[in-house]
Structure 1
Amino acid sequence: MTRRRKIYEGKAKILYEGPEPGTIVQYFKDDATAGNGAKKGTITGKGVLNNRISEYLMLQLAEINIPTHFIRRLNMREQLVKSVEIIPLEIVVRNVAAGSIVKRLGLDEGKKLPRPIVEYYLKNDELNDPLVLEDHITTFNWATLQEMDEIVSYTLRINDFLRGLFAGIGIKLIDFKLEYGRLWKDDEFHIVLADEISPDNCRFWDMASGEKLDKDRFRRDLGKVEEAYQEIAKRLKIIPEKNFEVIESSNPEHME
């Protein structure tokens, strides 16, 4: 049995010490939360699906020269990633009005925005992840102006790419959240995409029916949550549609 030190446990993932210096093992859980942990539950097979979906999308982004922390998938629930210093910001891209912006600005859900909006939120559950401005970010040294320029540039490229990719399989990318980190390489820090991209942090709507295919089904008690995650995997052809079955892995072998 492999024994590795647990570094951090979040709402959706557990991070373990990697097999080599500068690496981390990222384990995807089935746990689901909403409202910064106010609502808790389990989505059966979510960890397996998010691991595969995020792997696929990270590899696709690498093909268009977006630097990421992803190295390779290890098994059904784990992937090996580069150790990075996480920038304490959530970068949210909105193409269509949904979620918090609807309540905040009194918009109609589903309203197409004239152009993509990029928002910044401070990663702090105790403060309920408040919306912040670039002035806050630079004043409090969460990131430099140069880093923010890179982050916004990468984010808009990712948005353009993913919108096209999902449109090709009949899915509208409504909005999504990204996280970035600093990777020490060649005697300097480089900005890289970190965390994951999955139905946990993206809003996906079916183009024809408008059906929600993401964690909003859990947030709003819409039912068929597992089926929504499976549908994304099917359309991306990550797991064959015929005889589709989520293979449950055992508990992680890593122990503190």
Structure 2
Amino acid sequence: MNRRRKIYEGKAKTLYEGPEPGTLVQHFKDDATAGNGAKHEIIEGKGVLNNRISEYIFTKLNELGIPTHFVRRMNMREQLIREVEIIPLEVVVRNIAAGSICPRLGLESGTRLPRSIIEFYYKDDALNDPIVSEEHITAFGWANPQELDDIMTLAVRINDFLSGLFMGAGIQLVDFKIECGRLYQDDTMRIVLADEISPDNCRLWDAKTQQKLDKDVFRQGIGDLVDSYREVAQRLGILVESENALTTGPRLVK
């Protein structure tokens, strides 16, 4: 790791120079943060689980023809990804009211929305990632109208897939956040899914009990984060139930 050039370090992941031009290595850390870093802990095993869950989901999306930056998992904590130009937007898809939309619109948490809603937030921790409109996005040049259409199409397709995937595991997809980037290949550019999809950026509730199985467990201090993430991985068929991610790391199901 020390011999590789660090490209970027965020709150939960670090990017290193990849083995080939146009690639990066994405390393999943054990850091857990909330409130733009106001709450921060190191939780052993979290990065391993997020790496494996995200790999599983991105592989499925690639198979469906949904373009992503993901190439392959390299080891327990790292993925090989294509280098993309990140669009400075967090794209949030909401199916059920939870989190910030509740006080903003006077909704009770758990209320099913009339339809899935896509929201955009400008990626800037210093500004607390403010919600923005399509007009803001195109006016400030963060994305052009065609790119915005592509992003929204991706978001809808991903929501359809994830909703079915998680419901099949007895989990309700409340909402999720994605990031997109511009992938340049030869003389072409296309919008692809980047970052990760894991319980770090999805709200996941048990379909029967409404038990939270996502980062809200850490945000609200209501349980063991690794146990919750491991439960998600087990339900998706990724992990063997008897494995202990805190000591040996989760054993992969081939």
TM-score (norm 1): 0.95
Distance in structure 1 (CA, Å) of the matches to 2:156 and 2:74: 30
The residue identity in structure 2 corresponding to 1:17 is E
Distance in structure 2 (CA, Å) of the matches to 1:164 and 1:193: 19
State whether residues 243 and 249 of structure 2, in contact with CA within 8 Å, keep that contact through their aligned partners in structure 1.
no
The residue identity in structure 2 corresponding to 1:170 is G
Q: Which residues of 2 match residues 36-185 of structure 1 at below 5 A? A: 36-185=36-185
**Residues 155-192 of structure 1, C-alpha deviation per residue, up to 9 Å, x if partnerless?**
10110111011100100000000000000013021100
Q: Classify the secondary structure of the residue corresponding to 1:200.
A: coil
Give the C-alpha shift of residue 2 in structure 1.
6.6
Distance in structure 2 (CA, Å) of the matches to 1:205 and 1:43: 21
Identify the residue that residue 31 of structure 1 maps to in structure 2.
31
Distance in structure 2 (CA, Å) of the matches to 1:3 and 1:72: 21
Give the C-alpha shift of residue 43 in structure 1.
2.2
Identify the residue that residue 228 of structure 1 maps to in structure 2.
228
Identify the residue that residue 245 of structure 1 maps to in structure 2.
244
Distance in structure 2 (CA, Å) of the matches to 1:130 and 1:9: 22
The residue identity in structure 2 corresponding to 1:229 is Y
Give the C-alpha shift of residue 248 in structure 1.
4.6
Q: Classify the secondary structure of the residue corresponding to 1:71.
A: strand
The residue identity in structure 1 corresponding to 2:39 is K
Distance in structure 1 (CA, Å) of the matches to 2:42 and 2:96: 28
Distance in structure 2 (CA, Å) of the matches to 1:65 and 1:89: 23
> Percent identity between the aligned chains?
65
Larger RCO (CA within 8 A; separation ≥ 6)? 1
**Residues 41-99 of structure 1, C-alpha deviation per residue, up to 9 Å, x if partnerless?**
12220100000000000011112110000000000000000000000000000000000
Distance in structure 2 (CA, Å) of the matches to 1:135 and 1:98: 25
Tell me the number of residue pairs that the alignment of Structure 1 and Structure 2 aligns.
248
Name segments (4+ residues, structure 1) moved above 4 Å.
none
Identify the residue that residue 195 of structure 2 maps to in structure 1.
195
Q: Classify the secondary structure of the residue corresponding to 1:158.
A: helix
Q: CA RMSD in A?
A: 1.2
Identify the residue that residue 3 of structure 1 maps to in structure 2.
3
Distance in structure 2 (CA, Å) of the matches to 1:50 and 1:127: 27
The residue identity in structure 1 corresponding to 2:176 is F
